[in-house]
C-alpha cells in the first residue's frame, strides 16, 4: 500500500559542517585522545550549567562509571524507573548493587515520588530518575526524599539534554546537577545530538570528576601529583579497577558541532510535538503527553496512549503505512532476566504496566518536514477511525 518512504521514530541529522569537522579531525594528529575531547567536555558542561563533564564511549558506560563513582556496590540498592531502557538498571548490576524499582506517575510517566518513598529500605543508597521522553522528573520531591534518606542521585538524562525545570523561582537546566550528584547523557544517533556512539557524565563535584576520569581509563593515573610512588618518567599507576570507556577525538568533533545545533534541534522537536498535540488533543481515543507545570521537555519521544483501540493492531497498521512507530519501553522488571533473577511478576508495578499496554511512540526528529508530520497525523487519524469499535 505504501510507496512513501519509511519514517523512523528517530534519526540523526548531519550537515556539511558536521562532516567537515569530523573530516578535519581525522586528518589531524589525534584519532583517539586529542584536544577535542576536553573541548567537547567544556562546551557540554557550559551548555548544561555544570562545572565538569566527562565524555565516554556511550551512555551505558556513562551510567556504569557514574554508579561506580557513586560508590554503589554489593549490598546497596538503588531505585530507578521500570519505564526506561534496560541500561538504567543494568549499570547497577555491573557494580554488584541491586536495582530496585518504583512505579511511575501515570500522567508524566516519570518516577512517582510517592512510590519511591514506599520502596525505600534500609539498603537503599541511591536513585536513578529517568527524565522520560525529555520531560524532567519532579526533582523537587525526589531531591527532598534523597536528602531525608541520604541517597545519592544520578539523573539519567539520555532523553533530556536541553530540558529544564523551574524550582523556587529558578530555572534549572537538566545536567546542571542542581538536585543530583551526577547526570548522564547519551549521544546515540536516535538521541538529540550524536557523536556516533557516545555519552557523558556531568557533575559539580571535583572529587567525582577525578574518579570518573580515572575509571574511564583503566583506573590509571599519570599526573605526578596523584601518584603513590614514582619510578621514573615512564611511570604510570593503576589505582582502581577501571575500564576503557574512552571516546575518540573525531567523535568529539561531531559532538561539538551537534551541540551547537541543539537549540535548533529542540525548537523543531517542539514544533512537531505542538502539531501532534493540536491534531490529537480532541480525540477521545488518545491521550497526548502531559508536561508538568514548570517543566520544559526537550521531546526526545512523543508517546501517545491508546485509550480505546488495540495497540498491537494500531502498531501493525501504522507500520504498514510506513511509519516507524515504536514502544518505549517494555517494563524492565518484566524482562525475563529481571523477572527470573528477582522474582518480579506482572502486577508488581501496575502504573508502569498499564502505561506499557497502551503506549506507542510516533516519529519525532528535527529533520522531519511538515509533509512528514502531516503524513503521521493523517495515518493516526485513519488508523483510529478504522480500529474504533
Ligand atoms: C539510550 C539510553 C541509554 C543508553 O545510552 P547508550 O548510548 O545507547 O549506551 C540509557 N538510558 C536511557 C534512558 C536511554 O534512552
Q: Does 155 contact ligand 1 (Cβ within 6 A)?
A: no
Tell me the three cell numbers of residue 113.
515520588
Q: Does 245 contact ligand 1 (Cβ within 6 A)?
A: no
CA 18–ligand 1 middle distance (angstroms): 22
What is the reported pLDDT for 68? Answer: 98
Tell me the three cell numbers of residue 153.
542521585
How many residues are there in the chain?
Answer: 389
pLDDT tens per residue across span 109-137? 999 999 999 999 999 999 999 999 999 99
Q: How confident is the model at residue 389 (pLDDT cuts 50, 70, 90)?
A: confident
Q: Does 195 contact ligand 1 (Cβ within 6 A)?
A: no
CA 199–ligand 1 middle distance (angstroms): 8
CA 193–ligand 1 middle distance (angstroms): 13
Element (H, E) at 356: helix 350-358
Q: Is the dihedral of CA 141, 143, 146, 150 positive or negative?
A: negative
- Indicate which atom in ligand 1 lies nearest the CA of residue 61: 9
Residue 1 confidence (pLDDT) above 60: no
pLDDT tens per residue across span 247-293? 999 999 999 999 999 999 999 999 999 999 999 999 999 999 999 99
Q: Does 379 contact ligand 1 (Cβ within 6 A)?
A: no
- Indicate which atom in ligand 1 lies nearest the CA of residue 130: 13
**What does pTM read for this prediction?**
0.98
Distance CA 194, CA 43 (A): 14
* CB of 72 closer than 8 Å to CB of 93: no
Q: Dihedral angle at the C-alpha atoms of 44, 50, 52, 57, nearest 10 degrees?
A: -50
Rounded to 5°, angle at Cα 254 from 253 and 258: 125
- Indicate which atom in ligand 1 lies nearest the CA of residue 187: 7
CA 311–ligand 1 middle distance (angstroms): 25
Distance CA 351, CA 389 (A): 25
Residue 2 confidence (pLDDT) above 70: no
How would DSSP label each residue in 21-36?
HHHHHHTSS-SSS-HH
Q: Does 159 contact ligand 1 (Cβ within 6 A)?
A: yes
Tell me the three cell numbers of residue 372.
512528514
Q: Does 199 contact ligand 1 (Cβ within 6 A)?
A: yes
Domains along the sequence of the chain with CATH: 16-260 (3.40.640.10), 261-387 (3.90.1150.10)
Q: How confident is the model at residue 383 (pLDDT cuts 50, 70, 90)?
A: very high
Amino acid at each position: 500500500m505504501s510507496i512513501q518512504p519509511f519514517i523512523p521514530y528517530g534519526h540523526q541529522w548531519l550537515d556539511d559542517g558536521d562532516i567537515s569537522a569530523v573530516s578535519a579531525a581525522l586528518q589531524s594528529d589525534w584519532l583517539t585522545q586529542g584536544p577535542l575531547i576536553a573541548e567537547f567536555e567544556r562546551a557540554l558542561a557550559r551548555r548544561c550549567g555544570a562545572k565538569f563533564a566527562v565524555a565516554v564511549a556511550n551512555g551505558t558506560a556513562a551510567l556504569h562509571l557514574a554508579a561506580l563513582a557513586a560508590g554503589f556496590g554489593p549490598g546497596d540498592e538503588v531505585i530507578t524507573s521500570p519505564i526506561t531502557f534496560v541500561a538504567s538498571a543494568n549499570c547497577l548490576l555491573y557494580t554488584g548493587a541491586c536495582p530496585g524499582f518504583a512505579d511511575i506517575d501515570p500522567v508524566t510517566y516519570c518516577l512517582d515520588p510517592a512510590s519511591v518513598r514506599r520502596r525505600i529500605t534500609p539498603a537503599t543508597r541511591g536513585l536513578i530518575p529517568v527524565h522520560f521522553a525529555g520531560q524532567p522528573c519532579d526533582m523537587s520531591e525526589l531531591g527532598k526524599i534523597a536528602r531525608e534518606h541520604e541517597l545519592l542521585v544520578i539523573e539519567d538524562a539520555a532523553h533530556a539534554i536541553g530540558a529544564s525545570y523551574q524550582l523556587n523561582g529558578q530555572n534549572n537546566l537538566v545536567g546542571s546537577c542542581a538536585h543530583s550528584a551526577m547526570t548522564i547523557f547519551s549521544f546515540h544517533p536516535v538521541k538529540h545530538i550524536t557523536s556516533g556512539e557516545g555519552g557523558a557524565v556531568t557533575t559539580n563535584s571535583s572529587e567525582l570528576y577525578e574518579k570518573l576520569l580515572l575509571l574511564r581509563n583503566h583506573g590509571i593515573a599519570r599526573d605526578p601529583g596523584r601518584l603513590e610512588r614514582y619510578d621514573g618518567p615512564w611511570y604510570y599507576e593503576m589505582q582502581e579497577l577501571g575500564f576503557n570507556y574512552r571516546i575518540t577525538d573525531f567523535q568529539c568533533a561531531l559532538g561539538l558541532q551537534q551541540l551547537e545545533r541543539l537549540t535548533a534541534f529542540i525548537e523543531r522537536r517542539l514544533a512537531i510535538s505542538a502539531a501532534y498535540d493540536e491534531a490529537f488533543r480532541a480525540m477521545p481515543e488518545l491521550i497526548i503527553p502531559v508536561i508538568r507545570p514548570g517543566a520544559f521537555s526537550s521531546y526526545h519521544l512523543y508517546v501517545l496512549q491508546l485509550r480505546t483501540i488495540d495497540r498491537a493492531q494500531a502498531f501493525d497498521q501504522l507500520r504498514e503505512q510506513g511509519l516507524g512507530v515504536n514502544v518505549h519501553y517494555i517494563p524492565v522488571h518484566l524482562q525475563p532476566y529481571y523477572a527470573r533473577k528477582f522474582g518480579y511478576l506482572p502486577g508488581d508495578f501496575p502504573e508502569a504496566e498499564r502505561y506499557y499496554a497502551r503506549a506507542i511512540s510516533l516519529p519525532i526528529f528535527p529533520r522531519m518536514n511538515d509533509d512528514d508530520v502531516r503524513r503521521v497525523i493523517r495515518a493516526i487519524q485513519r488508523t483510529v477511525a478504522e480500529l474504533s469499535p
